[in-house]
A and B are shown apart, each in its own frame.
Chain A
């Protein structure tokens, strides 16, 4: 225990004295939360549309007015020629063309049906899907509106037999930022803990101080604990700091128990820290360890479900995610913060993480050799 205290003291002095590391530890939560959360949002606002109204009837104008009135759309331009709109699509000035053909109102009145065209930039399939859904919503709303208007009182009694009422749980305003903040927090603690530990032992190897430590009677477990604890403490501090910022800036709800959240995070961090130490032990230089660490980070983060829900990933990806610790915490943190899930709801993920913590720490202890 005493030996570990000396190790901790030394690590903290080194971290606090490091002129690049310390500001980064403080600034990273700010930058990641403020910039990433705002930038990585899928909220759709101000979708630029280009209107080609070839009908110029009161019905077609009414439809265009509906689009203009919606907060989701911004009228980028209008003309009578689809080609003009297409050019705007190509230059990214418009995301969608609403094409109303000549005779729209006439067909509607005579044949009781008419068609119009939506041309959507679908390079980002996700966004295109949303634009289409929003547009459909507006068009069908308008559809009902004119049906009522034209048939007068008749329709008023002829109500639709089935009506769907939506109620969005856990994030009633469908605020994407509230979904993103917990995800960014996971990334934050992961980056801090993985990189700091991965660089640590390699640095001692490069400087030659590891030899001097290996020639002392220090026990393996003392060394590993002395190397883990400082980064565990820093990462937990980062989580608390990030949560506070998320609460203050984005008003992120904290429905569940913080105790459960921090408890799970400790176990998660043990997985990451053990893995970081292991990478550090098998590498010879900081460059090498950076490269390897970056590889794992990128794959695990992109697969973790931070941007796209893991449920919509293919089956094999979900199988790969069984060994992805980030995916577990990503799920857990959102459940606890947004839904208020308790330990009873997350115990499966928790025990999985616990097993991985044993494995990864075991690997780190096993691979640390005082004798080459």
Chain B
């Protein structure tokens, strides 16, 4: 679903992404790990068409990131690190707005809203303003809105930062459930325990991908008991 070959992004002299090469398969949960400033968000923004790469061959959902950005945008969902719902609108209004600008018909928006809220067990709060909802719920709502148009790939940029452990667990259940319906999940995180939940992970350091494999094989290769130790060895 995602192919990147020698992807480079430079900001002046600073190289944020240094020849990244990776592939993500359909229905896979792909973890994008790295310390702060390693270049994860930059890479993700390029894949979403929010930022133009300096060079490299990159395709997302079968479309070229240079020429077919708008087609890519129809096929992907994105949940940014920065909070992305309108605080002064209600849950229903947020769903309606984002569904609307993705071009869904009103009937379909209502159906998807009802369905997604049902699954979240949050239907009772449909007319509450986002400002009155706790952070954990907001994150789950943001995820639901990122998939309101049933994208083939969903990009999550540190979706669980700042939320409590129970909500994090529920969040990962949502991710699994989404992936089970053949949706590719591309997720960045700093939590190494979350890395264990991914099918494959890549670990970035200073703009380069230093390791890319399944969590089990990475642990074996670095002779580590958990992903945390793997990460510390690579990022040191």
A positions within 8 Å CB-CB of B: 2-3, 5-7, 9-10, 13-14, 17-18, 207-209, 211-218, 222, 370-372
Cα separation A150 to B19 with both chains bound (whole Å): 107
A218: chain B residues within 8 A (beta carbon)? 101
Cα separation A15 to B87 with both chains bound (whole Å): 13
Residue of B nearest to A208 (CB): B82
The answer to whether A7 touches B93, judged by C-beta atoms less than 8 angstroms apart, is no
Classify chain B's interface size: 20 to 34
- The answer to the question of B86 belonging to the interface, with a C-beta cut-off of 8 Å to chain A, is yes
Given A7-B100, A215-B73, 15 more pairs with CB closer than 8 A: A2-B103, A6-B96, A6-B101, A7-B101, A9-B97, A14-B89, A207-B82, A209-B84, A211-B78, A215-B50, A217-B73, A217-B74, A370-B50, A371-B69, A372-B52
- The answer to the question of B49 belonging to the interface, with a C-beta cut-off of 8 Å to chain A, is yes
Measured between C-beta atoms, what is the minimum distance from B6 to chain A in Å? 20
B201: chain A residues within 8 A (beta carbon)? none
Residue of A nearest to B149 (CB): A216
- The answer to the question of B161 belonging to the interface, with a C-beta cut-off of 8 Å to chain A, is no
B145: chain A residues within 8 A (beta carbon)? 212
Cα separation A209 to B78 with both chains bound (whole Å): 12
Residue of A nearest to B65 (CB): A371
Measured between C-beta atoms, what is the minimum distance from A16 to chain B in Å? 10
Cα separation A84 to B91 with both chains bound (whole Å): 75
Closest 6 CB pairs of A and B: A6-B100, A208-B82, A212-B84, A215-B78, A217-B73, A10-B97
30 CB contacts below 8 A, A to B, read A2-B100, A3-B100, A5-B100, A6-B97, A7-B101, A9-B96, A13-B88, A14-B88, A207-B83, A208-B80, A208-B82, A208-B83, A209-B86, A211-B78, A211-B82, A212-B84, A212-B98, A214-B50, A215-B48, A215-B73, A215-B78, A216-B73, A216-B101, A217-B70, A218-B101, A370-B49, A371-B51, A371-B52, A371-B69, A372-B50
Cα separation A8 to B84 with both chains bound (whole Å): 19
- The answer to the question of B85 belonging to the interface, with a C-beta cut-off of 8 Å to chain A, is yes
Cα separation A250 to B63 with both chains bound (whole Å): 64
The answer to whether B84 touches A211, judged by C-beta atoms less than 8 angstroms apart, is yes
B97: chain A residues within 8 A (beta carbon)? 6-7, 9-10
Residue of A nearest to B79 (CB): A212
A371: chain B residues within 8 A (beta carbon)? 49-52, 69
A10: chain B residues within 8 A (beta carbon)? 86, 89, 93, 97
- The answer to the question of B185 belonging to the interface, with a C-beta cut-off of 8 Å to chain A, is no
B103: chain A residues within 8 A (beta carbon)? 2-3, 217
A13: chain B residues within 8 A (beta carbon)? 88-89, 93
Cα separation A222 to B70 with both chains bound (whole Å): 14
Residue of A nearest to B157 (CB): A211
Residue of A nearest to B93 (CB): A13
